[in-house]
């Protein structure tokens, strides 16, 4: 690339300048003809022959002095404001002046504090009470593998006292033998209406560009897989529609789904809605606040956080339905050990295809090696194995069942009149037919492949916010303390370096080193 030469001969340069002068002369001539002048008009002042000349001049002078005074005041105010700003910046450095590491720690502490507020028992309990208060119908979702253990007497008593309609929904019926599911339906419908349900585990996200289709039973033509199949969704929709029609109420019907963690509240809403409307997963305590989902005209479903289990419950109930593992009060290894102690060893061996073991730790070691949960050196990672084992029991994967009680009396908070009142407004014949159709379509496991588990009875829950005493959250370390700790660490490093340096010098200066 060669730099261009912008030099021109005098003929071109002088010609351009002449044209410019000629153009400017023409513009001045046209402006003069129009009577436009660039010169500012001179202020001639007040004529001598004008009446009251002295008063007019005096007023003009006063106005000039007033304008100057206001200008001086504004100037002084800006000066004081700048002085105060400089003083404030000097006394307390701004956020931008703070070190990046310190500012990052501060922001992280604030973020954790906000996250902790939404995970406290007090907050979750208050959100659950909001759902009960806002809804007209409350559906208690029960895990079919242990329906009695998933019942909360405190919740049922609160709902009945508020004159709300209460309904049982028996979820995960595909994980128990068919005879067991039928017996539990017969046992529970003596108290309240029961609807059998099997939620879908493969709900499509509504934000995906793929074609969305409503969830269909397994005998449909779209999807025959066991995980994607859903049973009872149409029955629940028709049941709520008929109840709304017969009630002659004004406004939308709000239906709240409540229950302990991992019973499938969010999965039921997703299955009935047909799209991924609520977050759901194997991890317990995903839902942290109430969420309202529009189902159809005049009917809304409300998702709720899981019921908080009281610490006085039996150990197996806490291992399955509490959030002690997520809160860090109990390790996954302890929870898995508790469940293994209350299971039949032979059935566990057949279910997981493992040889005989002496204790739960040995089982988890064998299970970890079989699943490939290994640490460095080929050691079995029992913590990871315990997490997978606990996920099987709390999720919708492992098949286990509990025997229903042979003769069950009504709870103390429920009477014959209450039972009759709760069944009013529901079409019990349609519910019975819907349950029969659901049981016909579901693929049930073999009784021999299902683990027999001993239920510990209803689980006590926490609903009164005043009774909950959360542990005080650890406050973040204050900045001066953090700075002091950093200075102490730096001093220790300097002291260690100086000691090491002295030792090296003594060693090198020792006479024996040079011999």
Q: What is the DSSP string of 377-446?
A: GG-B-HHHHHHHHHHHHHTT---EE-PPPSS-PPPTT--HHHHHHHHTTS-HHHHHHHHHHHHHHS-PPP
Q: Can you tell me the distance from the alpha carbon of 268 to that of 257, in angstroms, rounded to the nearest whole number?
A: 9
Residue 129's CATH number: 3.40.50.300
Position 280 scores a pLDDT of 81
The total domain count for the chain is 1
Instruction: Identify which of 135, 142, 234 has the alpha carbon closest to the alpha carbon of residue 189.
Output: 142
In this prediction, residue 179 carries a pLDDT of 92
Give domain status of residue 505, yes or no. no
The answer to whether the beta carbons of residues 132 and 256 sit under 8 Å apart is yes
Does residue 419 form part of some domain?
yes
Span between the terminal Cα atoms of the chain, in Å = 70
Q: What pLDDT score does 215 carry?
A: 42
Note whether residue 150 is domain-resident. yes
The answer to the question of residue 101 being in a domain is no
Q: In this structure, is residue 154 part of a structural domain?
A: yes
Supply the range of the domain harboring residue 202: 115-311+403-446
The DSSP code for 212 is P
List the alpha helices (DSSP H) in 138-264. Answer: 153-161, 178-188, 233-247
Query: What integer pLDDT is reported at residue 496 of this predicted model?
Result: 44
The model's pTM is 0.65
Is residue 109 in some structural domain? no
Per-residue pLDDT of the chain (515 residues; tens, 9 = 90+): 677 777 778 888 888 889 999 999 999 898 888 877 667 777 777 777 777 788 888 888 899 999 999 999 999 999 999 999 888 877 765 555 556 666 777 777 777 666 556 667 788 888 888 999 999 999 999 999 999 999 999 999 999 998 889 999 999 999 999 999 999 999 998 899 999 999 887 665 554 434 444 444 333 333 334 456 788 889 999 999 988 888 877 788 999 999 998 888 899 998 898 888 888 877 777 888 888 998 888 899 999 988 888 888 888 888 888 877 777 778 888 889 988 988 888 888 988 888 999 899 999 999 999 989 888 888 899 999 999 998 888 887 888 999 988 877 888 888 888 888 888 888 889 999 999 999 998 888 888 888 888 888 899 888 887 777 654 444 443 444 554 555 555 555 445 445 555 555 555 555 554 44
Q: How high is the pLDDT of residue 25? A: 94
76, part of any domain? no
At residue 349, what are phi and psi to the nearest 5 degrees?
Answer: -60, -40
* 7 domain-assigned: no
Print burial letters for 77-96: b (CB count within 10 Å at least 16), e (below 16). eeeeeeeeeeeeeeeeeeee
Nearest to 272 by CA among 134, 149, 374, 171: 171
* CB-based contact 335:163 (threshold 8 Å): no
């Amino acid at each position: 690339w060669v730099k261009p030469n912008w030099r021109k001969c005098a003929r071109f340069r002088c010609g351009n300048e002449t044209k410019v002068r000629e153009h400017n002369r023409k513009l001045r001539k046209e402006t003069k003809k129009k009577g436009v002048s660039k010169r500012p008009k001179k202020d001639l002042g007040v004529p001598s022959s004008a009446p009251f000349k002295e008063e007019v001049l005096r007023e003009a002078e006063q106005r000039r002095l007033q304008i100057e005074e206001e200008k001086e005041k504004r100037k002084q105010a800006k000066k004081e404001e700048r002085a105060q700003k400089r003083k404030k910046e000097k006394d307390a450095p701004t956020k931008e002046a703070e070190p990046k590491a310190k500012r990052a720690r501060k922001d992280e502490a604030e973020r954790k504090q906000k996250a902790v507020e939404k995970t406290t028992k007090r907050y979750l309990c208050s959100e659950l009470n909001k759902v009960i208060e806002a809804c007209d119908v409350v559906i208690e979702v029960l895990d079919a593998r242990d329906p009695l253990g998933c019942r909360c007497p405190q919740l049922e008593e609160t709902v009945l006292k508020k004159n709300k309609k209460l309904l049982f929904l028996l979820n995960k019926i595909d994980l128990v033998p068919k005879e067991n599911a039928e017996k539990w339906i017969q046992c529970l419908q003596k108290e309240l209406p029961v609807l059998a349900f099997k939620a879908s585990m493969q709900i499509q996200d509504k934000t995906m560009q793929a074609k969305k289709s409503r969830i269909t039973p397994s005998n449909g033509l779209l999807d025959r897989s066991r995980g994607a199949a859903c049973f009872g969704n149409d029955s629940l929709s028709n049941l709520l529609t008929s109840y709304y029609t017969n009630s002659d109420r004004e406004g939308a019907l709000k239906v709240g789904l409540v229950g302990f963690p991992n019973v499938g509240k969010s999965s039921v809403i997703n299955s009935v809605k047909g799209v991924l409307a609520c977050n759901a997963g194997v991890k317990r305590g995903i839902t942290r606040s109430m969420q309202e989902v529009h189902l159809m005209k005049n009917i809304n479903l409300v998702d709720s956080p899981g019921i908080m289990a009281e610490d006085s419950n039996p150990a197996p109930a806490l291992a399955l339905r509490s959030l002690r593992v997520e809160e860090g009060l109990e390790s996954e290894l302890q929870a898995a050990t508790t469940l293994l102690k209350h299971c039949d060893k032979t059935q566990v061996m057949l279910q997981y295809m493992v040889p005989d073991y002496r204790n739960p730790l040995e089982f988890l070691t064998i299970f970890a090696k079989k699943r490939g949960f290994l640490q460095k050196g080929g050691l079995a990672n029992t913590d990871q194995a315990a997490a997978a084992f606990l996920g099987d029991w709390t999720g919708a994967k492992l098949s286990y069942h509990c025997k229903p009680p042979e003769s069950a009396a009504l709870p103390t908070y429920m009477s014959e009149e209450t039972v009759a009142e709760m069944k009013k407004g529901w079409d019990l014949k349609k519910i019975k037919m819907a349950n029969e159709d659901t049981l016909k379509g579901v693929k049930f496991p073999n009784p021999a492949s299902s683990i027999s588990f001993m239920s510990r009875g209803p689980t006590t829950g926490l609903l009164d916010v005043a009774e909950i005493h959360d542990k005080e959250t650890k406050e973040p370390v204050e900045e001066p303390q953090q700075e002091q700790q950093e200075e102490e660490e730096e001093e220790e490093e300097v002291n260690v370096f100086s000691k090491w340096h002295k030792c090296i010098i003594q060693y090198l200066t020792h006479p024996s080193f040079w011999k």
